[in-house]
């Protein structure tokens, strides 16, 4: 059988699992599911490198429910970096567990601990964040003495968030005989060390090389000064309607940008770490239902976003860390759908673009964007200045033989000192002027020149 034609019903799965998958309209496994389900069902420890949106959640849920028996006590635990991801994993687990008559539970901070304690005695599958898991273990309410399955989901994110010691603490209180499955979009050395410490001859699947280049995701960047990022974003939104996830690097700017977008009539909302759980859930529901079609988020707040029909990911601020780029673009082009990942890059952000391209081993294409959005484009002399802060203009004048002295005198009359500008390439009826960026706006306003053209700098690297 052609591997591309493989269906779940060809994978010798339990009829209850197949019924659950049919109910949620899953017919064909994704690449990560094709490669990982069989060895996981066989009981192997697993190290799987696959990006967000590749179908990794079901690649560990299906083997777990194939082998769980629903006996008393927790048999499987999935640790996640965020409460949103814990909720999503448990939600998908519940859809399969319902057909196997197995109870599932999400445990995380910010929700009623009493509710979680009351439901634990009849729960076999748990998805949770390290902090709440440890809390319930210390209270004696959550016992992992007899678990058979231990999953680390988005392991690289958990390490970034400082959960390494928590993971070790939890792991040390589980039985030696268990199946461990580790899923991560990137594979830093700390994760490799963790795997070597606890796993026995794991099956390693590195599915991210195609995934990092994001098969099905068109990736490109737009060179734009900070002053015009909103204008370029507006043109993109109006030229290519869709469902947008926009990334900023700070919580403050997510609020500023979403406010500005709303002021221009866009259905936008922000999501950031300062929001309470109720507000986050409300915002996510609006995004999923398309009540809003633009979500502005930080990297931290986006962990756990589970929306399959995001058409565009926009890096309004370029990520400072290469692996964050991988996580960001993984939000579009999910489960075989097409998507776009657009990065807005100012000149002082080019070094970060270089690092990203080295990391993904691919050079992003440079695109122009057709103007026509709701936000007016402004001349950005900062963006077009050279390393010395100078801006170049090409000019023409109705004078057969303009002298350098005459032009410099005209400049001086407009408040431009001799050491702030220089006249170059002087020819009949025109030439060029190089001027400090702080005075550049004066040149187009001078009546002395018949025509003035800004010489735009090459958008690529210096």
Shared domain for 197 and 318, answered yes or no, is no
Shared domain for 132 and 276, answered yes or no, is no
d(CA 402, CA 100): 88
Query: Which of 209, 229, 255 corresponds to the end of one domain?
Result: 209
Question: Model-level pTM?
Answer: 0.63
393-431 confidence digits (pLDDT tens): 999 988 767 788 888 999 999 999 989 999 998 888 889
Shared domain for 288 and 157, answered yes or no, is no
Q: Is the pLDDT of residue 53 over 70?
A: no
Residue of 244, 329, 397, 304 lying closest to 51 (CA atoms)? 329
Q: Collapsing DSSP states into helix, strand and coil, what is residue 365? A: strand
Question: Is 460 a member of any domain?
Answer: no
Domain hosting residue 356, numbered range: 213-366
295 forms bridges with which residues in the sheet? 245, 269
Phi, psi (rounded to 5 degrees) for 204:
-110, 125
Shared domain for 145 and 29, answered yes or no, is yes
Task: Give me the helix-helix angle, 251-263 and 229-239, nearest 10°.
Answer: 60
Instruction: Provide CB contacts within 8 A for 259, sequence distance 6+.
Output: none
| For residues 266-290, average pLDDT | 86
Shared domain for 182 and 41, answered yes or no, is yes
Shared domain for 171 and 251, answered yes or no, is no
pLDDT classification of 209: cutoffs 50, 70, 90: very low
Shared domain for 73 and 9, answered yes or no, is yes
Shared domain for 400 and 357, answered yes or no, is no
111-120 confidence digits (pLDDT tens): 899 999 999 9
- Give the DSSP letter of residue 456: P
For residue 332, count other CB atoms closer than 10 A to its CB: 30
Question: What would the two tokens of residue 367 be?
Answer: 């695109």
Shared domain for 315 and 192, answered yes or no, is no
């Amino acid at each position: 059988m052609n591997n591309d034609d493989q269906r779940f019903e060809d994978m010798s799965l339990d009829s209850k699992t197949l019924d659950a998958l049919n109910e949620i309209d899953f017919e064909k496994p994704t690449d990560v599911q094709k490669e990982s389900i069989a060895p996981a069902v066989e009981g192997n420890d697993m190290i799987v490198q696959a990006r967000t949106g590749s179908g990794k959640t079901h690649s560990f849920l299906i083997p777990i429910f194939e082998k769980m028996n629903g006996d008393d006590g927790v048999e499987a635990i999935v640790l996640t970096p965020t409460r949103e991801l814990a909720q999503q994993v448990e939600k998908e687990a519940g859809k399969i567990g319902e057909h196997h008559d197995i109870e599932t539970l999400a445990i995380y901070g910010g929700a009623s601990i009493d509710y979680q304690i009351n439901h634990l005695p009849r729960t076999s599958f748990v998805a949770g964040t390290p902090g709440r898991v440890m809390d319930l273990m210390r209270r004696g309410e959550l016992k992992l003495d007899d678990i058979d399955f231990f999953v680390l989901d988005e392991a690289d994110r958990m390490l970034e968030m400082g959960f390494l010691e928590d993971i070790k603490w939890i792991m040390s209180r589980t039985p030696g005989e268990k199946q461990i499955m580790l899923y991560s979009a990137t594979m830093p050395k700390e994760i490799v060390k963790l795997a070597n410490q606890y796993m026995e001859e794991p099956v390693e699947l590195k599915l991210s090389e195609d995934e990092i280049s994001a098969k099905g995701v068109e990736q490109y960047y737009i060179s734009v000064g900070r002053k015009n990022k909103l204008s370029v974003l507006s043109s993109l939104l109006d030229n290519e309607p869709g469902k947008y996830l926009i990334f900023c690097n700070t919580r403050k700017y997510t609020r500023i940008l979403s406010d500005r977008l709303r002021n221009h009539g866009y259905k936008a909302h922000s999501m950031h770490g300062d929001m309470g759980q109720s507000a986050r859930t409300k915002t996510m529901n609006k995004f999923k239902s398309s009540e809003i079609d633009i979500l502005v988020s930080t990297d931290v707040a986006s962990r756990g976003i589970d929306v399959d029909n995001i058409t565009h990911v926009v890096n309004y601020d370029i990520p400072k860390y290469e692996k964050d780029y991988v996580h960001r673009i993984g939000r579009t082009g999910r489960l075989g759908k097409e998507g776009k990942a657009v990065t807005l890059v100012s000149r002082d952000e080019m070094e970060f673009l270089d690092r990203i391209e080295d990391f993904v081993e691919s050079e992003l294409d440079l695109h122009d964007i057709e103007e026509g959005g709701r936000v007016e484009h402004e001349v950005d002399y900062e963006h077009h200045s050279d390393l010395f802060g100078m801006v170049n203009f090409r000019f023409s004048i109705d004078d057969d033989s303009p002298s350098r002295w005459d032009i410099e005198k005209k400049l001086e009359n407009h408040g431009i000192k001799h050491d702030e500008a220089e006249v170059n390439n002087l020819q009949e009826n025109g030439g060029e002027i190089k001027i400090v960026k702080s005075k550049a706006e004066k040149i187009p306003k001078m009546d002395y020149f018949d025509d003035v053209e800004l010489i735009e700098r090459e958008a690529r690297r210096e």
